[in-house]
């Protein structure tokens, strides 16, 4: 069987439909793909520091303190001129790059002053007013009140017209540090409501700096870097911050990235995420649990119980060590992190990355473009939602002081559409959308050494095999590859590979080469689609998790006809269930274990109940009731 490449799918669907042995109508697949809402696991995120991205050419807003702006782009702590219209101007560039979701640095109005004569709040984390926009991102004279600012609505409209989602970066833990004698002065659409140095309403904690980063009490209630730390027990504060973020969601923001989440208690985040999703149920939220690891209990507890996902620092560090630094252990370091996936309830929603605004860029560690290409293929095809730091596709980096902050935030300089990475990333982004094995499925190691890493992504009858070689040319044998026998085309290398008897024999991998082979199955379709996930049951060989219930789609309580879920890892079973006959009606269901030898095992609870929508996508996230 000859399988088409993802590039072919995009460029020549008529040829694909005629391909010998291809079992799906690809044009139907593409039509189906782009006429339904696609969840965040199928997105490719691009992270922008607004001030350092692009100036639109509109009249610059000098603000009350023009000295905060540096037109020479040499004072790294000052504003350099990027604006919201500049982001809009480059949306087609980003769409052609394969970007489907844009994470932009905080847009809130900031302290308008210089700290120590050289540091402005161009980064966006010294908020003055959560209900106003930083005027430096607007044209001169434009209103910056969220109620009347057209720049944000224009950005949202332009992105949604292109099928892109907007992720707003927010911070709930703190406002501003002491800048020339003012600290934590907070406004509600221009009205002063709190002041750290005159805190009569107890909006802030007044504790010393964190000195012991292993002390949870200090992490939650002490100050970090002199920032005025909010008192989340104050209901006035909670009402303010939630009302502000809801206002942004009403303007069309699709998702939130939340700063410094480990510095606020879990109960606050549970209330915060619940309230926001009640307001806008589709909101995807992920947080920055700084340098969190899956073997750290507090990090896992937060991820599984806060109502949000997190940035995957552990995988980031492993990829940087293995590929950029050539650390001992090589790809074993990456697999060691992935081996902990079952500690998370939804590892497939972790946001993956190789660098960001708080660490040296990948190329400051290793300037070889081939190493960067390998790292990008890895995070674009591994579990999780990949996030690309702005300029990576143009090899943007500044190695002054090792590339540490602020030198990891250069001005975007090039917009070349013929750079090798700009050409590579759209192919990988399309693969993520066309092949749900990449975005939704399990990941199985197939070959592992210090220099070579092969893995299979699988979901239902979809497959994606990836081989990465960071060393010299080599030949390997891959047994039990779990791909249908046939000829496969790699869109990255333009080479063909033959799978025979379930094996990939004598696989030649050139130096610093990546190979991607895909098998496309049949998508789940239906008037109403339920994405059902079960956590908390460790299956044994011969056991399958099923959903059984009182409707035809769930077997009418006949466990032999119940809907079987897909194994993702030792803690997660997942599946897409198509409802047509029962769409728009109430259903009862529970999970059960179907055994190849022996009686079934049912959850110990009165059946779960759900009123299905009459169309669209629904998520069931459940834990086994024992």
Instruction: Give the active site residues.
Output: 259, 288
What is the full DSSP assignment across 465-525? EEEEE-SS-EEEEE-S--S-SEEEEETTTTEEEEEBTTBEEEEEE-TTEEEEEEE------
The residues, any chain, with a CB within 8 Å of residue 328's CB and separated by 6 or more, are: 450
Contact 88, 56 (CB under 8 A): yes
Contact 380, 386 (CB under 8 A): yes
Q: Residue 134 belongs to what H/E stretch?
A: none
3-state secondary structure 247-282: HHHHCCCCEEEEECHHHCCHHHHHHHHHHHHHHCCC
Residue 553 burial (C-beta neighbours within 10 Å; 0-12, 13-18, 19+) = buried
Residue 132 burial (C-beta neighbours within 10 Å; 0-12, 13-18, 19+) = buried
**Cα–Cα distance, 543 to 619 (Å, whole number):** 23
The residues, any chain, with a CB within 8 Å of residue 114's CB and separated by 6 or more, are: 65, 67, 68, 77, 78, 120, 179, 180
Dihedral, 351, 352, 358, 363 alpha carbons, nearest 10: -160
Contact 252, 157 (CB under 8 A): yes
For 247, half-sphere exposure in the C-beta direction (CA atoms, 13 angstrom radius) is: 20
**Cα–Cα distance, 546 to 575 (Å, whole number):** 9
**Cα–Cα distance, 368 to 324 (Å, whole number):** 9
SS3 390: coil
Tokens of 270: 């549970």
Tally of CB atoms within 10 A around 580? 11
What pairing do the DSSP bridges indicate for beta strands 486-490 and 2-3? parallel
Contact 620, 579 (CB under 8 A): no
Cis? peptide before 406, omega within 30° of 0: yes
Q: How far is CA 418 from the centre of its chain?
A: 26
SS3 309: strand
**Cα–Cα distance, 523 to 401 (Å, whole number):** 50
């Amino acid at each position: 069987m000859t399988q088409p490449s993802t590039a072919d799918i995009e460029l020549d669907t008529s040829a694909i439909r005629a391909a010998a042995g291809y079992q799906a109508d690809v044009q139907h697949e593409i039509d189906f793909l782009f006429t339904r809402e696609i969840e965040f696991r199928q997105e490719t995120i691009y992270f922008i520091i607004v001030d350092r991205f692009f100036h639109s050419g509109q009249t610059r807003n000098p603000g009350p303190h023009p000295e905060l702006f540096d037109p020479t782009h040499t004072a790294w702590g000052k504003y350099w001129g990027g604006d919201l219209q500049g982001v809009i101007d480059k949306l087609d560039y980003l769409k052609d790059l394969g970007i489907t979701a844009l994470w932009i640095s905080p847009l809130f109005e900031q302290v308008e002053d210089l700290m120590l004569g050289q540091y402005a709040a161009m980064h966006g984390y010294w908020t003055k007013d959560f209900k106003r926009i930083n005027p430096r991102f607007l044209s001169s004279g434009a209103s910056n009140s969220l109620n009347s600012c057209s720049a944000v609505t224009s950005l949202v409209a332009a992105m949604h017209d292109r099928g892109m989602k907007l992720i707003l970066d927010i911070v709930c833990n703190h406002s501003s540090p002491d800048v020339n004698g003012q600290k934590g002065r907070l406004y509600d659409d221009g009205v002063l409501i709190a002041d750290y140095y005159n805190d009569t309403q107890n909006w802030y904690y007044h504790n010393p700096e964190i000195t012991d980063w292993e002390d949870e009490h200090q992490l939650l209630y002490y100050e970090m870097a002199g920032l005025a730390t909010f008192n989340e027990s104050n209901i006035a504060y909670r009402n303010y911050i939630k009302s502000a973020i809801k206002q942004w969601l009403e303007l069309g923001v699709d998702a939130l990235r939340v700063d410094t989440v480990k510095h606020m208690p879990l109960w606050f985040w549970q209330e915060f995420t619940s309230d926001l999703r009640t307001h806008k149920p589709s909101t995807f939220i992920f947080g920055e649990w700084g340098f969190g690891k899956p073997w750290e209990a507090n990090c896992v507890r937060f991820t599984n119980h806060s109502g949000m996902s997190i940035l995957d620092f552990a995988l980031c560090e492993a990829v940087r060590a293995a590929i950029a630094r050539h650390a001992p252990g090589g790809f074993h370091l990456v697999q060691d992190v992935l081996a902990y996936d079952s500690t998370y309830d939804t590892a497939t929603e972790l946001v993956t990355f190789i660098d960001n605004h708080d660490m040296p860029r990948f190329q400051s560690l290793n300037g070889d473009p081939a190493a960067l290409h390998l790292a990008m293929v890895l995070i674009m095809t591994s579990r999780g939602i990949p996030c690309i730091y702005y300029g990576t596709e143009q090899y943007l980096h500044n190695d002054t002081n090792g590339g540490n902050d602020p030198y990891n935030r250069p001005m975007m300089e090039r917009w070349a559409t013929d750079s090798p990475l700009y050409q590579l990333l759209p192919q990988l982004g399309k693969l993520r959308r066309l092949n749900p094995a990449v975005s939704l499925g399990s990941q199985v190691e197939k070959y592992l050494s210090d220099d070579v890493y092969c893995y299979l992504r699988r979901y239902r009858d979809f497959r994606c095999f990836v081989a990465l070689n960071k060393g010299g040319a080599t030949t390997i044998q891959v047994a039990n590859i779990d791909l249908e026998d046939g000829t496969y085309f790699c869109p990255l290398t333009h080479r063909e590979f033959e799978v025979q008897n379930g094996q990939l024999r004598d696989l030649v991998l050139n130096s610093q080469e990546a190979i991607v082979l895909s098998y496309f199955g049949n998508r789940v379709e239906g008037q109403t689609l339920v994405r059902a996930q079960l956590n908390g049951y460790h299956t044994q060989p011969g056991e399958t998790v099923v959903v059984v219930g009182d409707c035809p789609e769930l077997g009418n309580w006949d466990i032999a006809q119940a809907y079987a879920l897909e194994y993702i890892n030792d803690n997660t079973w997942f599946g897409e269930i198509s409802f047509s006959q029962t769409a728009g009606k109430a259903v009862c269901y529970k999970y059960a274990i179907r055994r190849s030898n022996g009686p079934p095992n049912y959850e110990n609870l009165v059946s779960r109940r759900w009123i299905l929508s009459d169309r669209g996508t629904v998520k069931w996230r459940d834990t086994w009731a024992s």
